[in-house]
Structure 1
Amino acid sequence: MTAQSAAELLARTRREIAETTTPNRFVDLIEKGELPRDRLVWLAGEEFRIVSSDRRSFALLAARYPESPAGELFLGLAQGEGQALTLLGDFVAALGESEKNLSAYEPRPFAQAYPAYLAQRAAFGTASEVALAMMANLEEWGAYCARIAQALRAHYGFAGTDVGFFDFFAGSPPGFEEHALAVIAAGLASGDDPVEAARAARLLHAYETAFWDALAEGLP
C-alpha cells in the first residue's frame, strides 16, 4: 500500500469518527468557568494513571516493532509521555495536590478504558493499528487540551508552567503525521488489515469519549 493509500485511509477514518463525535460537556463547562475545582483533581488523577500507562504501552510497541519507521515513532511517543508526566506534576502542584495524593486517587473505571485498550493493542495489535488510531484522534485531543489550557488561565487562576501539560498536547511535533503515515503504509504493505486498523481507531475514540463523560458524570 502506498503513502497515498495510507493518507486516504486516515482521511476516511477521521470522517467516520467525526460522524460519531458528540459535544464534550467537561470541556464546555471548564470553558465557561463552571466546572467545580474538585473535578480538576479528578482530571489530574486520571491523567496521572493514563500517561504512566501509555508510556509503557508505547515502550512495548517500540520493543515489538524496533525497525524504522515504527521503532522511532513509538520510542518518540514513549519519551513524549515521560515529558508529559513531568509537566503534569506542575499542574498537580498548582492544584495543591501531591503525587502521593494522586497515587491514592481512586480512578473511575470508564475513564481508564482508553489506556486499557491502548495497552491491549500494544500487546496484541499491529503498528499500523496504533499509528492510525493515534493519528485519527490526535487533532480532537489536541483541540480539547488547547481549550482547557486557555480556560484554566481565564477562569481558574493558572498561569505559565501550571498548564504546560495541556499546552504540550495542544499541538503535534513537526513531522509527526508524515512519520505516522509511513508506519501505516509500511504495516499495510506487509499485510496489516486496513479494516481492523480503522476499527481500532474508532474504538479508541469511543474510549476517549468515555473518559470525558466519566469526568463530567453527575454534574448539572
Structure 2
Amino acid sequence: MTESPGTTARELLDEARQELADTDAAIRAHPFLDRLRRGEVSTELLRALAGEQHVIISSDRRSFSQLATRFSSGLGGDFFLGMAEGEGIALGKLGTFADWLGMSSDDFRQYEPRPGAHAYPAYVAWLALNGSRTDVALAFLVNLAAWGSNCGRVAAALREVYAAPEQAVAFFEFFASPPPDFESQALAVIDEGLATGDSPLRARRAARLLQAYELMFWDAFEEPNSTIRKGEG
C-alpha cells in the first residue's frame, strides 16, 4: 500500500474495496453459511454464536462510545454515537435469539469466548483508543457490507431450515440492512478526517485488518462433526 495524498473519501473507499475483494468474497462464501443452510450446525454452536455476539456487541458499544467522546467536536461525534446506539438496539434483539435457543442471562455471563472470534472486537477497541476517525469509518464501511450479507443469509437459514420464528432472527435482520444514510455519513466523516490530515494508508490498513478479523470470526465456528436436524433447536 502507498499513501495517496489528496484522495477523497469515495476514492479511498473504492480503493479499499478493490484491495479487499478476495477477503470479502471469502467471508461471504464461508463454509459455515453452507452448513447452516444444510441444517448441519448444532444447537450448541448456535448458542456459541449468540454468546460470541453478546461479548462482541457489548464491547463494540463501549468502543463506539469512546470514539464519540474522542471526536465529539466534529461529524464523528454523532456518527459514532449513532453506532453505539445501534449496538444497544442489537443487544436487545440478540436476547430474542437467545430465548429461542433456551439461553438465560446466566448463560451469557458464564460463556467462555473463542479466541479467534475476538480478534475483531479487540481490534475495534484498539481503534477506539488509537485510530483516526477515517480509520474507523472506512474500516466499517468496508466491513459492514460483508457482515450484513452474512447476517441476511443466517436469518434466512434459521427461518427456513431451523423453523426459527421472526423474533428469533431479528438480530440478524437488523444487521442485514444498514441504515440508508450510513454510507453518506461515514463518507462525510472520512472527508472531514482527510481534510485534517488523517492518513489514507493507515485507513486502508485498518480496513484490511478489520476485514481479516471478520474472516477469523467465522473461522472460529468450524464444527464439521456436529449436526442438528432440520426444524430442531
Shorter-normalised TM range: over 0.9
Structure 1 counterpart of 2:72? 66
Name the residue aligned to 1:19: 22
Q: Deviations over 1:95-117 (max 9, x none)?
A: 00112101101110110110000
Mapped to 2, the partners of 1:144 and 1:50 lie a distance apart of 16
**1:219 counterpart residue number:** 224
1:196-211 matches, cutoff 5 A: 196-211=202-217
The 1-side partners of 2:119 and 2:196 are apart by 29
1:67 Cα deviation (Å)? 2.2
For 1:172 and 1:132, how far apart are their aligned partners in 2? Answer: 15
Q: Distance in 1 between matches of 2:44 and 2:18?
A: 35
**1:81-92 matches, cutoff 5 A:** 81-92=87-98
Q: How does 1:128-167 map to 2 (within 5 A)?
A: 128-167=134-173
1-structure distance, mates of 2:40, 2:15: 36
For residues 201 and 27 of structure 1, the distance between their equivalents in structure 2, rounded to whole angstroms, comes to 23
- The whole-number CA distance in structure 2 between the counterparts of 1:31 and 1:16 is 29
CA positional deviation for 1:68: 3.1
CA-to-aligned-CA distance 1:117-140 (integer Å, 9 cap, x gap): 000000111111000000011111
Letter in 2 for 1:10: L
TM-score (norm 2): 0.90
> TM-score normalised to the size of structure 1?
0.96
In the alignment, structure 2 segments of 5+ residues that lack a partner are 226-233
Paired with 2:174 and 2:202, the residues of 1 have a C-alpha distance of 30
Spell out, residue by residue over 1:158-192, the C-alpha distance to the aligned partner (whole angstroms, 9 max, x if none): 11211100000001102110000000111011001
Task: Output the amino acid matched with 1:174.
Answer: P
- Whole-Å separation in 2 of the counterparts to 1:42 and 1:146: 19
Cross-structure match for 1:126: 132
Percent identity, aligned pairs only, is 50
Does 2:113 correspond to 1:107? yes
List structure 1 segments (4+ residues) > 6 angstroms apart after TM superposition: none
Deviation at 1:57, TM superposition (A): 0.2
Aligned pairs for 1:188-199 (under 5 A) are: 188-199=194-205
Structure 1 residue 17: Cα displacement: 1.2
**Bigger helix fraction:** 1
Superposed CA RMSD in Å reads 1.3
